[in-house]
Structures are given as structure tokens and as C-alpha cells.
Amino acid sequence: MSSVNPQSNRLKNIRKKVVVAVLLGGITSTPSWAQGDNDMQQAVVEALQANQQSSSSVEQPSVTADSDQQPVLAQDPLAVEQAQEAQQSPVNVDDKDWIVIAHRGASGYLPEHTLAAAALAHGLGADYLEQDVQLSRDGVPVVLHDLTLGAVSNVADVFPERTRPDGKYYVLDFSVAELKQLRLHDRIDESTGDMRWPNRFDGSAVNFRIATLAEHLALLNGLNKTRDMRTGAYVEIKNAAWYRNQGFDVTAATMAALSRAGYLEPKGSPSPLYLQSFDPEVLRRLLREYHVNAPTVQLIGENEWNEADVDYSAMRSAAGLEALSNTVSAVGVWLPHVLKGVDENGQPQFTDLVKAAHRAGLRVHVYTARADQLPSGTPDYPTLIKWLQQAGVDGVFTDFPGNRVPAKLAAIGRASDAEQHEPDAAHDDTDVDQLPAGAQVDRSKPLR
């Protein structure tokens, strides 16, 4: 019976560990943990040279003293590698071939991100409930999609004077106690006051309130217990760079809330968990600082959306997806990144993204399927889901979790198909409130 020499295994993996440490840890010279080890030092030199050559033609973003981009020069690369490998076989995820992610809860039926919408999504059998995280003035993670409150609450009635110079009401300018004084309603177009989806339940006559991330997780785990289920949490860390410029750390606050709820335990969490962000630096930080073993998801949009200072077009390439596989388990992509449209026979036309992602070992989750806003040429919502499964997609964010979509909403989706997806009407999909104050608004951006 042969035995395995730990030293031999260590030497065998030196190059892999060092490459990970250089790429994720910001190493620019031989660190202390490599001193006195000739093999390790040589691997560091080679990795640094390769990294310098590959990045010499790319302008690198500056790193400020309070930036998320903090190097871990003194950290042994083994810890980083273990976190990276956890992305390939995470312990806090199910093994289903297809998952349904309730997009902001059952937001097609009840106002988004309310506890009621989350409870309904759980009852409808969603595999995961999504929680978008913003911060209150007292640093508490709350579950809201936008940086601002005007599109989903009565903030203008309750606190009419609390705007910034741009005229908007920012979540960060209110304490949790103040936020809980507001009523939530279905999303409106702030310029007109009209409902974004007119045939949904507006919720204005019901006392829907803002809830914290801790409250959403407590509800999820309570329902899992009473219903004997394992519905998961799908948490998005939002606008990290903007919060950093305001003197807040949304990543740390989110991770602290997850830790208190038991989601960062090495052997697993109360329920499955995904962590997602449009900002790749947030996801790299989760590996190098928090060593997460929950799967992480790189959200990919269009460059014009101003989500982060990265090239999303390059991310969607085969090479970009291969590079992402070093740090994440999955990608979350916009529906048109997978479904190009239909041919003259009404058959779906797909891009190569799903195949390329799968070759790189990445799952693909698509946003956002809506029965009342179908892609052009799609006859109905069940067909849209069938097409996504046909494309090989691993999961979908949907406003309508469950097996049955009301015929009325499906009919609305078909009737409004042309007007919602013509280029001249694309501005109707823009989520202005997701952008930081002063950022250019791109009118082709969807309301994710």
C-alpha cells in the first residue's frame, strides 16, 4: 500500500497556488511566505512575469487606501486556493440541473422584495429567493433593489424634504427605523407615476414594509423548517464602489449578516446559498478575505449600464468565461445574451455563450423571465422557459415562480411584445435608480 508524501503534493501544486495568489492577491514581488523555498520563489517569478506580460497593454484601475482591492501579500496562497476550489464543488448548493430563482420574490404577483413576495415565492416552489442588498444610514443591510426609494415606496409623502441635490431619495440617507415607516408598492415610472407593469398588483392599499436582510433570512429558514424544504438564498451585493465612496462597506455588512444567520459555516449553511455581484472585485474579495465556500456568481451586463469598471463584452467571450472560472461557479447573464431571437419559422436562435460557459465549467443563470414582458417573437411564457432549457441554461431568474402563470398575464406579454422590444421603446426598461448619482443613464438597459 503506497503512501502519499505531503511535501510531494505541496510541490506538485506550487505553481497553481502561486498563480492564484498573484492573480487574486495583488502580489508584485516575492512575498515572505515564499522566502527560503527555491521552488516557490521560482514559481513566483514566473507567475509575475506572465502576469505582467498579459496585463502590460491593459490599463489597470487605481487602488485607493479604502478600496475593496486590498492585497493579501502576507497570506499563504493555500487559503485562497481552497476558496477557489470550493467554487468548483461548493458545499452550499444543490445539484439540480435546473433551478428557478424567484426574482425579488414572487415580484410578478406582489411588490418586489417584500416579505410577502418572498413567502409567496416559497409557497410556489421556487428553488431560491433573491435578496438584493442596500445599506441604511446606520449600516444595516436591507433588501431593496435600487439605491433610491422613489420608484417603490411612498418616501416622497413621508419625508418630502430628504432628497439629495439630484432630487432623489437615497436608501443610505435613512435609518432602519425611518425606512420601516415607508410603505412599499409595485414599481412605478417616477417621471409619470404610472405602474411599470400596469396589470400587476400595485400594493398601495396594503401595509407592505421594507425588511432587513436578517429578517428575510429568518423568514426563509422558518418556512424551510415548517414546510420541510431546502429553498435557498440568492444574495446580491450591490453598488460596492458607490458605497465605498460614501464611506460604507456593503460587502462586509452583508457578510456579517450572513455570518450571524449561520450561512458562513465551513460545513454548510441553514439552506443553499449563492452570492452574486456585477462587480468582479467584490467576488474576488469574497474568496481572498472571507474564503467563502458558497458558490459565487458573476453577473454580466452591457458595458453601457455602468455597473462596474470592467469589460462585460470580454467577459462573455470564451476566453473571458474561462478566466472567470478561476474565481466563480456561475455567471448570471441577460436574456438576450442567450436568446438572440427567432428565425423566419419562429424557431429560437441562441448564442454560443451557454456552450462556452459550460466548457469553462460554469453554470449559467439567465435574468429576467417575465410573463408580461416576453422577448420579441416568443409566443408565450412556457415556451420561453422551454427555449431556455433547450439552450442548456442551468437556471432562470423569474418574476413568476411556480408552474402556472395566469392566462391574463401571458396574454398581456404577447400583446405587448412588439411595443416593449422595439428600439424606440427600449427606454421603458431602464432602471435609472440603480445608477449612482451623476452617472450617465443608458436607455437600453433592462430592469433586472
Query: CA quadruple 14, 288, 23, 46: dihedral positive or negative?
Result: negative
- Catalytic one among 103, 122, 365, 421? 103
Count CB neighbours of 436 within 10 A.
Answer: 15
Which grid coordinates belong to 25?
492577491
Please tell me the distance from the alpha carbon of residue 197 to that of residue 394, in angstroms, as a whole number.
27
Helix spans in 347-380 (H): 353-359
Please give the C-alpha separations between residue 214 and each of 141, 218, 240, 254, in angstroms, as whole numbers.
Answer: 8, 6, 19, 9
Q: Is 256 left (phi over 0), alpha (psi -120 to 50) or beta?
A: alpha
Q: Is residue 103 flagged as an active site residue? A: yes
List of residues 6+ apart from 75 with CB closer than 8 A? 21, 25, 33, 288
Please tell me the distance from the alpha carbon of residue 61 to that of residue 403, in angstroms, as a whole number.
45
- Catalytic one among 145, 185, 365, 421? 145
CB 367 within 8 A of CB 448: yes
Q: Give SS3 for 175.
A: coil
Query: Which residues carry out catalysis?
Result: 103, 145
